[in-house]
Amino acid sequence: MNDLDCSGMASPLLRERDVLPGGLLDTETSALAALLGGPTLIHLPGEREPPLFVCVLLHGNEAVGWEAVRALLQDNLRQHGRLRLPRALSLFLGNLAAAAQGLRHLPGQPDYNRVWPGSELPETAEHALMARVVEIMANRGIFASVDLHNNTGRNPHYACVNVIDNPSLHLATLFSRTVVYFTRPMGVQSRAMSRLCPAVTLECGKAGERHGVEHARDYLAACLHLSALSEHPVAPHDIDLFHTVAQIKVPTEVSFGFGPESGDIGFIPDLDQLNFRELAAGTTLGRARNPGARLEVQDERGRDLAARYLEAVNGELRLRLPVMPSMLTCNALVIRQDCLGYLMERYDHRVPHRITSTAPAG
């Protein structure tokens, strides 16, 4: 069911189902591609409409979403003898080819969470696929959108939003009091869906941790039981809200590792332990063995802020300002495919009805 594009790579086609395919809930993440054939959108009825939209496996090595949905539906079947959902559910299973190999995405594929409407990447077949998913869901109507992910570094469980309004923040704090507001990178699922409904991205800890699956399953069950999302402000004592102000990347020409003798830049071995800690100016991230080696630090508008946030002192890479990092990882492949991590600052708790981003439209 895949076509070949001019490069010879398979172009993904969207499969759409109105019932659960036989054996789906018994299928492990690595076998979903063999069963379903590729990216699949499944619509399941419920007692309330419109549906909750749930997105899993945009990154093939992040199984928490599928495992949580699988557990939720199995629990429902055991309880009722048949699927009897309190709200309709539309489920999108994304990069199943990468999931079959346990990879974020395959060589030659774009990142499936960078190709949704608003993406800055060159147009691909995956862009058209995601645009079709958005079109279908816009026509059906959506109660709320949830995109489920794992981290590769050590992070708490937290929720992300791309607009600040009361329903979105209530949807986020139902998962965690720690909430991150970001507007870049572009082309992410939650930002595309936030034009249609309250939308969140959930970061559920490292892959393989049972607590992440259970937390995500319980959260989805709670969402399906909601009749509405409150328009009232979230109480300041119920939320820790942070704003992602910069993304850190290692330039392709810079070699790196974790330890003092590792490449042009040797990061501290336990770099990911700095996540979600409010770090003082002067905190060391690593050492630059090559005086010309530098990191790229870009804000939401793509401006270079490396000199604002980082400095080299006697070969040590240090923070110039107090910040809180998130998603710092020691996974070299993820660093090359995506980034080293992000820098955040605390955000004002006074939340008006809605704020739209001043960053480029997405």
Instruction: Say yes or no: 135 and 269 in one domain.
Output: no
Instruction: Say yes or no: 254 and 173 in one domain.
Output: no
Query: What pLDDT score was predicted for residue 353?
Result: 44
Contact 200, 168 (CB under 8 A): yes
Q: How far is CA 284 from the centre of its chain?
A: 27
Query: What pLDDT score was predicted for residue 22?
Result: 95
User: Does residue 165 belong to any structural domain of this protein?
Assistant: yes
User: Does residue 172 belong to any structural domain of this protein?
Assistant: yes
Query: What pLDDT score was predicted for residue 12?
Result: 79
Confidence of residue 302 (pLDDT cuts 50, 70, 90): confident
**pLDDT-above-70 percentage for the chain:** 93
State the pairing for strand pair 240-249/296-298: antiparallel
Q: Which two tokens mark 75?
A: 């629990």
Instruction: Say yes or no: 184 and 259 in one domain.
Output: no
Q: Which two tokens mark 253?
A: 């020409």
Instruction: Say yes or no: 46 and 172 in one domain.
Output: yes
User: Does residue 352 belong to any structural domain of this protein?
Assistant: no
Contact 113, 121 (CB under 8 A): no
Contact 259, 278 (CB under 8 A): no
Q: Which two tokens mark 279?
A: 């770090």
Q: How far apart are the first and last CA of the chain?
A: 30
Instruction: Say yes or no: 83 and 153 in one domain.
Output: yes
User: Does residue 264 belong to any structural domain of this protein?
Assistant: yes
Helix (H, G, I), strand (E, B) or coil at 69: helix
Instruction: Say yes or no: 341 and 220 in one domain.
Output: no
Cis peptide before 50 (omega within 30 of 0): yes
**Angstrom distance (rounded) from CA 209 to CA 155:** 12
Confidence of residue 361 (pLDDT cuts 50, 70, 90): very low
User: Does residue 361 belong to any structural domain of this protein?
Assistant: no
Instruction: Say yes or no: 214 and 308 in one domain.
Output: no
Contact 246, 256 (CB under 8 A): no
* Rounded (10°) CA dihedral 154, 158, 159, 164: -110
Instruction: Say yes or no: 20 and 156 in one domain.
Output: yes
The residue behind tokens 């974020």 is 104
User: Does residue 359 belong to any structural domain of this protein?
Assistant: no
Instruction: Say yes or no: 148 and 209 in one domain.
Output: yes
Question: pLDDT digit string (tens) for 2-41?
Answer: 443 333 344 579 999 999 999 999 999 999 999 999 999 9
User: Does residue 354 belong to any structural domain of this protein?
Assistant: no
Instruction: Say yes or no: 272 and 218 in one domain.
Output: no
Confidence of residue 323 (pLDDT cuts 50, 70, 90): very high
Q: Which two tokens mark 5?
A: 């594009």
**Domains in the chain: how many in total?**
2
User: Does residue 355 belong to any structural domain of this protein?
Assistant: no
Query: What pLDDT score was predicted for residue 348?
Result: 63
Domain final residue, candidates 238, 272, 294: 238
Instruction: Say yes or no: 193 and 328 in one domain.
Output: no
186: domain CATH number is: 3.40.630.10
**Angstrom distance (rounded) from CA 21 to CA 31:** 13
Domain of 297, in residue numbers: 244-346
Q: Which long-range contacts (CB under 8 A, 24 or more apart) does 206-212 make?
A: 206/150, 206/151, 206/152, 206/154, 207/61, 207/62, 207/63, 207/64, 207/150, 207/152, 208/63, 212/64, 212/150, 212/157
Q: Please compute the mean of the pLDDT values over residues 80-101 and round it to a whole number.
A: 97
| Helix, strand, coil percent values for the chain (each to nearest 5) | 25, 25, 45
Instruction: Say yes or no: 187 and 309 in one domain.
Output: no
The residue behind tokens 């439209």 is 361
**Angstrom distance (rounded) from CA 326 to CA 48:** 36
